[in-house]
Amino acid sequence: MKKVLLLYFAMCLSLIGMAQSNEIVGKVTDESGFPLPGVSILKVGSTVGTVTDIDGNFSINASSGEELQFSYLGFKSQVITIGSNRELEVVLEEDVSNLDEVVVIGYGSATKRELTGATAQVKGEAIEKMNMPRVDQALQGKMAGVNISTNSGAPGGTSNIRIRGIGTFGDNDPLILVDGVIYDAAGLNALNPNDIESVNVLKDGTAGIYGVRAANGVILIETKKGNLGTKPRLDFNAYYGVQQTARRLDLLNAREFAILKNEAFAAGGQALPFNNVELGEGTDWQDAVFQESPIQEYNLTVTGGSEKTSYSIGGSYFAQEGIVGGPKANFERYNARINFTTEIAPKLKFTNVLLFTREQSSTLPQGGIGSVLYNTINAYPTEPIRVGDRYSYLENVNDIINPLAQMENAYNDSYVNKLVGKEELEYAISDHFTWTGRAGYNYALVDAKTFNPLVWYGPGKFANSARNADLDPVLVDVGGLEIERGANVFESRNTFLDYNLETFLNYNRTFADLHRVKGMVGLSLVGNRSEGLNGTGFNIPNNDLAFADISANQAPGGFLNGVGSFQSRQRLTSAFVRGEYDYKQRYLFSAILRRDGSTNFGPNNRIGYFPAISGAWVISDEPFFNSGAIDFMKLRTSFGVSGNDQIGLFRYRGLLNGSATYVFNDLIVNGAAIGNTSNPDLKWETTYQTNIGLDFSLFSNLDFTANYFIKNTKDLLFQPDVSALLGAYGPGGAPPVINAGDVLNRGVELELGYASNRETGVNFSADYNMTFLKNEVTAVPQGFEFIPGAGFSVGGNVASRFQEGFPIGYFIGYQTDGIYQSQEEIASSSVVQAGAQPGDLRFVDHNGDGVISFGDDADRTQIGSPIPDMVMGFNLTADFKGFDIGANVYAALGQEIIRNYERQQPFANQLAYNLNRWTGAGTTDTHPRLTTGATRNNVFSDFFVEDGSFMRLRNVQLGYTLPLPVSQKLGTQYFRFYLAANNLLTLTKYQGFDPDVGSGNPLFAGVDNGIYPQARTFMAGLNIKF
Amino acid sequence: MKKIYQGLLILTLGMVTGCDSLLDIDPEFTQDAENFFNTEEDFDRAIIGVYDMMQPAYLNMWIGEIASDNAIAGGESVNDSRGLHEIENMTHGGVNEELRAVMRVNYTGIARANYIFENQENVDFEGKEVILAEAKFMRAYFYFNLVNYFGDMPLIVDRRISINEITNAARTPKATIYEQIETDLEEAMEVLPWTANETGRLTKGAAMAMLGKVLLYQSKHTEAAAILGELIDTNQGGYALFSDYSTLFYNENRNVSEDVFTIQFSGLQGGDYGCLVCLNGNAAVGFQSIRQYDGPLYADGNSYNLPTQDLYDAFEEGDIRREATILDLEAFIAAQPNPDEITYAIGGGGHTGYYNNKYIKRLNERGLPDDDLTSPLNYRAIRWADVLLMAAEAFQRSGNDDRARTELNKVRDRVDMPEVNSSDEALYQAILEERRLELSGEGFRFFDLVRTGQAADRISGFISGQHEVFPIPQVEIDLAGGIWEQNSGY
């Protein structure tokens, strides 16, 4: 409002100014050349001043030698001495370390100066520059304490966001609010990273304003909004890129394969499979499977504002095809959004946020045994891709199928239509009271279709659905009737609605210019409701995708067809209050209390209270503080309690959702059985977090933030094994969810930011962040030694565990100590290792009893952890004379990965490291002999665990911005084009496709089943403003 | 002004507590476990849940053979189902997934049966007695399994146990459990019909045979002879030996006159390795079939539970049961017109050249995918020949050699083997040997060897006083609060 008045005033002034003789005229723009309206210009040492108009133009009377000061919120002030030039081009530089920058916190906002909690921010531009499909991918390495790992590099693949470590066995996702609307982590696919204005993460106990959902931290994302009194501005951004695999595995070629297999079969006492080993290179299955594929995005936004209304309206299209599968691993997103704010009556502001998204995706089997890449790795090179007019069968390995045939038969599509919005009223009751009421909703309609044609991958393949190579259907006997079971199609339509209704009152008053008091009290109702219907139709005509719809099914009598449905709802009611006080903005205190009631718990434990307190001391404001170098220094501390209720619905009660089926009269009949066992005393997990932090700025261009935190999560919600006596292990049965077990996360976070002064001509900024984290399980439920996690190999041992005294999901197995070189060495060894032969791995007798025990845990020990000791990010930008470069580096150090993509089968292909196998005394002390006979070399040991540390150049970009006159000639205000590469370089010792191996389940983290790797992408793009 | 604040405060507090009523929501379209058994249909549905828990019979089919002199574990490698390999070598200990599964499956069956008894008074209807009788039979069957595997085990009857009671659940002496088993079976026997209205439901004949077996396992020979004799003499179920032993285990001969107590399976529901207890198919069959086999008659499988040379050699030449029981794969292939085109693989978990030819995947007997797991072949827990041989043994041990020979020779006659004419100890030994020849591959051998005292002689590595029962999984001891003492020797 004020700005608008000033603007009006400015226009008047400039009219008057026209008549003056010693008039200075000019234009103020930001660094990208965009005009800045409302910049105040003051003649130094006087009260004469003006402001820029809507086009950034100004005029003022001034004579040579006089100084003009230009200032604008969010930008560094600049003083210019008038010389002979009567026409000025002023470029204001954004103030990156602005302590007055407003940051969104829960139910309110605060300046950086005032913050008492530990937070981290990323601005929209930094996200935009990454050119990542999803915002979470763009956040990797951007903030200390926020660790992002990748579940899959496939288009539409998701990441895990973990704030300050892994606190629980269950749901570790933070609470994500986009413009105050709840998103789940997977739902971030709907958001175009280009539309994001800022991301703010609440990391410590002050996140407790969100109570029972805040234990994993809170991410507050704001999308772009318009500014009042600005001309419409059109932004067009586009890029097109080509993706390829960043790495291929070093596998055996046909000749090497034949030699090694002959050796292994001979050692196993079996006939040699290859009479002739001179088979050359053979088939390179990776060559056949990996392809180059496109990625592209186009984005158009209009922003602006009138006196009372501001808006940002835009649309975008994004498309990515897979480097495996191409269009069969595809993700497309269409976005349309309208954000506007208007003053509908004096003091009454209405805000609307609306986003419509359509996502289309296709997926291939990935990330596990039986995935396309798993088959690619294990397919042997002596088999051609095709035999005659069909794909080859790879008959020598039972459960490996031809990956190309597999891709051809995969039809797995989903369509998401999503409407996300918020309506908000803000009423300024008086100078000190503001009331806000809002309703948010996130509604998704998800359609999925999977077509399962009749397939034949060769004799005995588990994935066959046809009876034979002629694709004759299996015959099914239904009550004496023989029915053909043909191709089928599965279709589902599910809807998910998340909603929140919130009302809160803010109070803000400063007494005697010294004591400021802020208060907030509010209520909220958060809920979700989901429903779904699904069906399967059999005997799709002609085994053809063209008829793949339930309506086309030809199942005789409909006997084989199936239907299903689900519905669920949950609610959370909350009341919350926050009080803040500061004295001269030097001593700051804040206290929070939140009361939550969640439907996920029974009446015994439904209501929870979550308090938090925090305080800060701005040391640099003290009179005694006298350091020229240090501009600002603040010490912060906080303690808070928050919860986690994300355990699934109605787990406190026993429901008849178990499975009960038997066969009477040769037909399957359905009955009823108890599903999960009840626990009426179930309650939320509680996280107690203490944080101590220090912020300071040096030389006005160096910012430093450090945090130390202790995060103690207690009463973990999980379903540990229970005694067989409870009878919880029938089909559909599950043990009760209980509260037991504690996890401790401790860490240090450092953030360092540097921005050069503009005077040098080179604009340079760099920031670096690092997080040290130590994760430890400090208690497991009574009566349990550990909770088992991921399995190793097929039918093999449990490789990861949740166990007291160890990090979550640590790897347990046998430690090796070289290779037994000879029979004498085995005989003379002080340790008895049953079945050991020369060339076998020598295991360490961990308990020192002289025997390697394979039947129990006595000799198994920690051989790795999937949790990095340290992660860090480094971001760099520089520009000079229109050129700009940027780079982003991410590193995770100290974690291990289990190599679990090797199928331990006699004929499966193997990695080239097997060429270094033991072949006789003294040949190697690292790689065991190869044999098809019985051996313990394949039990889970550190032989299968690799150093997973890596450092990755995630993004590097070189851009050029046309000089303003040139771009204006092109009819634009700003014109930049750039070349960029994502994932250009990775430094790692890890042998697999991608060392960034994440998992949503902390007990499966770091287990690489042949992860779909992140692509290397080369892109060219444009940013244009009109 | 103050009043306004007060009003606001009251309003706020009112809204806070008022909102709590929004939390009282119930799950939709599903029943609560505490609000069930209100109609006859509820009881009908609950009893299916108990029947369901008999389907994980693959555990008995494997362990009963692999622990004995009949079979080795086999499989992909020695790490594939490691527990079975340890059982084969008599090196099993407190960490054994298969033994844990035995305990879980049987106690879940017991809990599902007890859930019915807990609510049996809720409603009355015609036919309730039959449902309760079926539940009693199955509870007896589950406890009988537990006693055979582990000896003394906690006895929980007519109610579900809560999580807080687990640590007080002491092991009940085996004899007490046997009393409960006998009571349950006797009561079931009184109510169950000779012929059920649906194929697959339990019958009076099944209950009598089961009771006979339970008595025989306790060496109560006179009582066993009485009940089994009565079953054979009255035979109102119309039981008889199936004429053709060589095709008895084909799916086309499911539910024939030889079936007394049979666990039913179907190939009509798909399944995966993620949940073996969820299957409606017979998981043992695919597991026991030939690895990567490509040829006539049979289909591929996982080469588990492979018969030994010792078993092969136990059959006399000319006994058709050898070929019906054991597949000599190389001989079979050699006899085909196209032996060169037939391929198969040998697993790293052991190889004997022999496969279980009773429960094996045949090309035309496959279920829906994954058909390694969905065989429709029923598992005959007690068949008529078993009844006759149990009767023979019970009569012989209680001094009636004549009757013993009669029942024994019925079994031998069916496969055209000469009559046995011996008496006393020789007759007893002949009966035991006949059990092996007749019933091998069906999961009974180990328990027969143990109860007749032959195990130490026949099983290498078997230690008397230890291996008669299996160890209780250590994790189950821990989960029960550590109050159970491990079985001796483990």
pLDDT digits (tens, 9 = 90+) for A569-589: 999 999 999 999 999 889 999
What CATH code is assigned to B35-187?
A: 1.25.40.390
Question: B residues 415-434 near A, CB within 8 Å?
Answer: none
- Using the Cβ of B158 and the Cβ atoms of chain A, whether some distance falls under 8 Å is answered with no
- Using the Cβ of B300 and the Cβ atoms of chain A, whether some distance falls under 8 Å is answered with yes
Q: How far is A786 from chain B (nearest CA, A)?
A: 10
Q: Is the dihedral of CA B146, B150, B154, B160 positive or negative?
A: negative
pLDDT at A96: 57
Does position B15 have pLDDT exceeding 80, yes or no? Answer: no
Q: How many other β-carbons are positioned within 10 Å of the β-carbon of residue B56?
A: 26
pLDDT at B260: 97
| Contact between residue A379 and residue A370 where contact means Cβ atoms under 8 Å apart | no
Are A721 and B29 a contacting pair at CB < 8 A?
no
In a domain, A564, yes or no: no
**In Å, what is the CA distance from A681 to each residue of A222, A240, A737, A781, B34?**
38, 55, 10, 15, 16
Are A656 and B31 a contacting pair at CB < 8 A?
yes
Domain that holds residue A41: 2-91
Q: How far is A372 from chain B (nearest CA, A)?
A: 18
pLDDT at A2: 47
Provide mean pLDDT across the span B385-405. 97
pLDDT digits (tens, 9 = 90+) for B335-373: 999 999 998 988 888 999 999 999 999 998 988 888 899
In a domain, A47, yes or no: yes
Write the residue in B28, B278, B343 that is nearest to A659 by C-beta: B278
Please provide residue A353's backbone torsions phi and psi, each rounded to the nearest 5 degrees.
-125, 130
Q: How far is B30 from chain A (nearest CA, A)?
A: 7
B contact test, residue of A723, A782, A853, A854 with most B CBs within 10 A = A723
Helical spans, DSSP H, in A180-327? 254-267, 285-289
pLDDT at A9: 45
Could you tell me the pTM of the whole model? Answer: 0.82
Q: Give me the number of domains chain A comprises.
A: 1
Determine the 3-state secondary structure of A62 from DSSP: coil
Write the residue in B52, B81, B254 that is nearest to A662 by C-beta: B52
Are B277 and A794 a contacting pair at CB < 8 A?
no
Q: What is the CA radius of gyration of chain A?
A: 32
What residues have CB less than 8 Å from B334, skipping those under 6 apart? none
In a domain, A57, yes or no: yes
Name residue, tokens 């100066």.
A113
Identify the burial level of A367 via C-beta atoms within 10 angstroms of its C-beta, where 0-12 means exposed, 13-18 middle and 19 or more buried. Answer: buried
Q: How far is A884 from chain B (nearest CA, A)?
A: 53
Identify the burial level of A661 via C-beta atoms within 10 angstroms of its C-beta, where 0-12 means exposed, 13-18 middle and 19 or more buried. Answer: buried
| Contact between residue A350 and residue A336 where contact means Cβ atoms under 8 Å apart | no
CATH code at position A23: 2.60.40.1120
Which residues of chain B make contact with A476, given a CB cutoff of 8 A? 267-268, 368
Write the residue in A654, A671, A729 that is nearest to B105 by C-beta: A729
Are A730 and B49 a contacting pair at CB < 8 A?
yes
pLDDT at A7: 45
- Using the Cβ of B90 and the Cβ atoms of chain A, whether some distance falls under 8 Å is answered with no
The span from the CA of A472 to the CA of A181, in Å, is 51
In a domain, A61, yes or no: yes
Listed by start position, the domains of chain B span 35-187, 192-249+383-465, 265-377
Does position B307 have pLDDT exceeding 90, yes or no? Answer: yes
- Using the Cβ of B269 and the Cβ atoms of chain A, whether some distance falls under 8 Å is answered with yes
Q: How far is B203 from chain A (nearest CA, A)?
A: 13
pLDDT at B34: 82
Q: How far is CA B92 from the centre of its chain?
A: 20
pLDDT at A917: 94
| Contact between residue B438 and residue B448 where contact means Cβ atoms under 8 Å apart | no
Which residues of chain B make contact with A523, given a CB cutoff of 8 A? 12, 15-16, 19
Write the residue in B49, B293, B349 that is nearest to A672 by C-beta: B49
- The share of chain B scoring above pLDDT 90, in percent, equals 80
- Using the Cβ of B168 and the Cβ atoms of chain A, whether some distance falls under 8 Å is answered with no
Are A664 and B198 a contacting pair at CB < 8 A?
yes
Q: How far is B21 from chain A (nearest CA, A)?
A: 9
Are A723 and B166 a contacting pair at CB < 8 A?
yes
pLDDT at A903: 87
Q: How far is A993 from chain B (nearest CA, A)?
A: 27
Which residues of chain B make contact with A597, given a CB cutoff of 8 A? 19-20, 23
User: For B192-249+383-465, which CATH class?
Assistant: mainly alpha
In a domain, A23, yes or no: yes
- Using the Cβ of A851 and the Cβ atoms of chain B, whether some distance falls under 8 Å is answered with no
Minimum CA–CA partner of A454 in chain B: B369
Give pLDDT < 50 ranges for chain A: 1-20
Which residues of chain B make contact with A730, given a CB cutoff of 8 A? 49, 52-53, 105, 108-109, 112, 277
Minimum CA–CA partner of B96 in chain A: A855
pLDDT digits (tens, 9 = 90+) for B62-79: 999 999 999 999 998 877
Which residues of chain A make contact with B33, given a CB cutoff of 8 A? 653-656, 674, 678
Which residues of chain B make contact with A784, given a CB cutoff of 8 A? 478-479
A contact test, residue of B479, B484, B490 with most A CBs within 10 A = B479
